Structure 1
Amino acid sequence: MKTPLTVLVCALTLTACADHAARARLGIEDSTLLKSGIGASQDEAAGAANPQWVDTYAPVVSGGPALASLQARLNRMPPEQNGYFRAKAQCWIDAGQQARQAGDHWGFVEEATGQAATIAMGLENGTSLSAANPALRTVSTVRPDLWKIVNTIKSDPAIASCREAQQPLACAEVELMQAGHDAWMRSFSNAEKRLPDVQDNLRKSAQTALQCKQNVQASAAAPTGKLHKAVMLRADSLFRFNGGNDAAMLPAGRRQLDAVAHGLKTVRGVRELNITGYTDRLGDNAHNESLSLQRAQTVARYLRARGVTLPIAIRGQGGANQLADCRQTKRDDMVRCLAPNRRVEIELVADS
């Protein structure tokens, strides 16, 4: 019995015939991935390694130890760095580990390690990092429609001050890159299997960012009668760890306070503001009380500079009124768990 020619062609190409439908659904625009069988390109344009790639990634000779080292570096970073870039570095480490455990020797492990290392180094050195996703040799673009959604979410101002929305967004981007790597290897069905997680993370990010925006707007809305409203701001997003003065303010914190100031200037029915700073329970009580007061004073001064004219009462409560009860034995884990306790509360007191 003769073997059908179509079976031979499928056996001689990286593209599985059963993957044709999945390939079409991925919206691939890379012409090299749309070719299969005899005549399919194997040159640099199709993803062959060039000297520049070798020079960049050849030093990553052992993916396991390199990824483990990067994980340890991330774990040592202070809580105020638990934002978009740290989440993205973590997702790149996870992606590299997955590819390594799957026996992927096509260069993606090295690229994932390189991306995580670049971000970790930037966070450690306090240097500027780009949120753009790089062009990687072993990654092709899939689902351009999802990339448009990624860019739409990233461009929304609410994301910058909403850490809870940043983590799923960062992971969605890395997962979409992983799907692009699967497609680059002509494993189109595997690429498609990643998409539900991508879509779920994008949905979480968009919904959380919207909730953050609504919370700020609701807090600045005009109260009625004797209703009191409050804005709770995480100190870790306002200030560098253990900082509370103007120099320690973070860009995301300034953006949050800008939004609060804008709302307060248009609000009606508010008599005064009560601004209270808090720390976690770690450390000396006197230091915590001083730090919490400094944070409240800095926030009040910032709002004043942005045109808020309401009377403001300022207090520092140190480690009082803890929101999170944490019992971890490792200090780093404890510091992360106690993050909700490090905060500044702005209470809007209504007219009688």
Structure 2
Amino acid sequence: MKQPQLTTLFLAMTLASTLTLSACTTANPNPPADQLAQQQDRIADNVIHRDYGVYRDTQERIKVLNDGGRRVADYQLSKAQCWLDVSFHEYSRNDRGGFPQAALGESQRILTALENKQDPGWETPLVNGAEKLRPDLWARYDALKHHSGFRCAAQQTACGEVELVHAGNEIHDAGWRHAKPYIQIAEDLAGRAEQSAESCNPPPVPVPTTEKITLSADALFHFDKSGSGDLLPKGRQELDEMAQKISSGYVSVTGLTVTGYTDRLGSVAYNQRLSLARANTVKTYLQAHGVTAPITTEGRGKQDQVEACTGVKPSAALIACLQPNRRVEIVVQGMK
């Protein structure tokens, strides 16, 4: 059976949030903000509407983690999603037992750990006293976690484990007939996961690399200027693209060296100060735009000229001829 997409549950909850609120309520429908109302209170529209808000908020936490770069098919994020899905499925079927809250709580536990950069663990608890059905399927899922191609089978493994717990809850609540559909899902997912793992190509092995990028100082800065306020729009755009490339184009970055240069016009001391100031401005800009690797700066002034422009008289033509010398070089060392 096809697994629900990340947005399916959110869409269903959004549509359901248009329920008309009741003017009255029952008992004490004021549980903690991240928990469902007590079972006996789920008879008023405003209580159900509030519970749907808990589901929406939990779904949004999954979306935020995905927006931050954690893959939808990541084992932990998939498990949080599948716990949320089975919880909402049973809630919408008016399950009066403790499974909707237990499954929701497990989803939230995983999300809290991920948000805090912690390992949620790899065990799948039998929440709400669920029976442990089909030990053979559990063994197959455990084996998949040690398979070299597990990254391609992670989502199917996570959701299959959750569906086995779902089935184990249904069998003691309603018998085999109600458990069977979820066992079937777990069986299908196990087979698909094993196929995915076997056909999974290994990830590329990172290799050390050193890359030099040369940016025109005339494009980066106003003439004879070096501060952050002197950066030109085109220069900011180039540095934004550079920061993005460093962040996403490398497996890891061990360090950057930013070196500023000037042309040969002017004094040695002045050109040295100008070139170093420009290098430091580029460093600060990259750091402010997400580059966390160590950055070393250097000003080399009129050294290492790339265009001598011999015979060109001091004039606008000479300034234009010397343009390639006015540059900022960025050397990136890392793994690609």
TM-score (norm 1): 0.47
Q: Which has the larger radius of gyration?
A: 2
Greater relative contact order structure (CA < 8 Å, 6+ sep): 1
TM-score (norm 2): 0.49
